Amino acid sequence: MSTVLTRRANTPRPAGTTPDAGEIRRAVLGLAWPSILENFLHASLGFVTTLMVARLGSAAVAGVGTASQVQVVVITAFFAVSLGTTVLIAHAFGAGRIEAEGDRITKQSIVAGIILALLLTPVTILTAGPVMRGLGAEPDVVTEGAKFLQLTAVSFVFMAVMFILSGALRGVGDTRTPMIVTMVMNVANIGLAYALIFGFLFIPDMGVTGAALAMVLARGFGMLAMVAILYRGHRGLSIAGRDGWRPNPERLRRLADIGLPSMAESVLRSGGQIVFVVVVFMLGTAVTAGNQVAQNAMFLSMFPGFGFSMAATSLVGQSLGAKNPERARHVGMTATRWCLLWMSAMGVIFFVFATPIMEFAASGDDKAAIISSGVDALRLIAFIQPPLAIGFVMAGILRGAGDTRFPMYSTSLTMWLLRVPLAYVFGVVFDWGLQGIYFAMLLDTLVLMVMNLWRYRQGKWLTSRIVDAGDEAADAAATSPVHGLVEEPEPAPATAGR
């Protein structure tokens, strides 16, 4: 696999000159498609587990699904640290200072992530049962869900380190390595999950406990693989050596400035999603199971959004770090157009094939009720796709510029002032069921899109300067032979570029 480095990407252009559209398209697609696949693989870890657990009955699938929603609140905290790492690394890379700053940024991020994981793990284990009961789950659902949540909490440290190292590599334009590691991790999880859930040879069947243990082991493997890669050194980054591990207040402050708003955004969004699930629980276990299947399908559709958002974050950060705002603007528009195309296509699939999707995933005594409620949800989810795509990438652009506060405000306001209260009103008060709940989500998504578009069109993000001329080692880095270079990934496969 060859890597092409080019000065054209970040070289300042004369006023009025338009950056090469083909180069930007290749860069966006080259970063986006591995991120899309990586996100698909991360989510399929839970999706495959849910499919296997579904054979154990509706209580098991509802318990695991709800526990996964609770776990997302914790996982998003690690994603926030990872995002801060990506932005700082991308700006340093664009400014030609990756050799001076990259290793230290990565090490500081790992330290922050491990501390965070060690704090959240015991809290999750101790509160798993009360949280599940507080969500209104029925006793058998609480039993299965709490068990799954407590066991998988052991893997929080594994996830924190893996996400942060993946974020560092995205900052220098490598999305393939995290994708490959995640792919191998998933293969291991599928084999382990099957053996531990249903039993194999001398291994007894362990049900939900086996599903949780398989996930922990798979995530541990993923972390070890990423550590091994970065310890040897990769794309100018290395975590070897003792230097850079001692907490540095200035670097941690910068990481917190970017990561904390994203963490708050993620926690508030995930907290709102949990309340959203509470509303769904009011409609019964069968509807809850149907919602979980619909949610898993929706997560699949969101992967292009995550992928193009990540590509925009990395490339915008690199471009602004190199003081090339015109390229940053074109990167944003290119990522938005492609994301809109992909997610709209997913919407068409959901609308046309809603019934076959639900028939494939649903099982148990309540299968007919699960299918009926899930089909209505999927057809509304189809209409959510286009505004969700635009909102996703707009937020990614702002994050790449270091503006993580506005996405926090827009997401939190629309979640708590629109989605949650309207879901209760439409779904429970008006008795529209799951269809009413997803109609509330559609309204929330439209308003979120408008808010992020407004912030983007203001243009203040184009003047972002995260890496200052007075930073440590700036003079030495300015003469580095890689100054002003942005990695241009290999072109995406032909099918992605059509």
Question: Each residue of 332-375: pLDDT tens digit?
Answer: 999 999 999 999 999 999 999 988 888 877 766 677 777 887 88
Most confident of the ranges 43-47, 136-140, 256-260: 256-260
- Global pTM value: 0.76
pLDDT at 158: 95
Which of the two residues, 471 and 53, has the higher pLDDT score? 53
pLDDT at 467: 53
Rg for the chain, CA atoms, rounded: 22
- Summarised one tens digit per residue, pLDDT across range 375-418 is 888 889 999 999 999 999 999 999 998 888 999 999 989 999 99
The two three-digit tokens of residue 312, written as one number = 């925009």
Question: Comparing C-alpha atoms, which of 112, 110, 99, 108 is closest to residue 237?
Answer: 99
- Summarised one tens digit per residue, pLDDT across range 27-62 is 898 888 888 887 777 766 666 777 777 777 777 777
pLDDT for 419 beyond 80: yes
Residue listed under structure tokens 């996703």? 392
CB-based burial of residue 368 (10 Å sphere; 0-12 exposed, 13-18 middle, 19+ buried)?
exposed
pLDDT for 317 beyond 50: yes
Q: What percent of the chain has pLDDT over 70?
A: 87
Most confident of the ranges 92-106, 134-148, 213-227, 462-476: 213-227
pLDDT at 447: 96
- Summarised one tens digit per residue, pLDDT across range 262-303 is 888 877 887 787 788 788 888 877 787 778 778 777 877 888
Q: Which sequence spans correspond to the domains of the chain?
A: 28-464
CB-based burial of residue 23 (10 Å sphere; 0-12 exposed, 13-18 middle, 19+ buried)?
middle
228: number of Cβ within 10 Å: 11
pLDDT for 225 beyond 90: yes
E strands within 378-491?
A: 486-488
pLDDT-derived band at 451, boundaries 50, 70, 90? very high
pLDDT-derived band at 14, boundaries 50, 70, 90? very low
243: number of Cβ within 10 Å: 9
Tell me which of 198-212, 226-240, 430-444 is least confident: 198-212
pLDDT at 43: 67
Q: How far apart are CA 407 and CA 259, in angstroms?
A: 12
The two three-digit tokens of residue 418, written as one number = 């629109």
pLDDT at 465: 67
The two three-digit tokens of residue 255, written as one number = 């990481």
Q: How far apart are CA 314 and CA 167, in angstroms?
A: 9
DSSP letters, 82-109, are HHHHHHHHHHHHHTT-HHHHHHHHHHHH
Q: How far apart are CA 82 and CA 121, in angstroms?
A: 18
- Integer CA distances (angstroms), 253 to 93, 396, 410, in order: 19, 21, 23
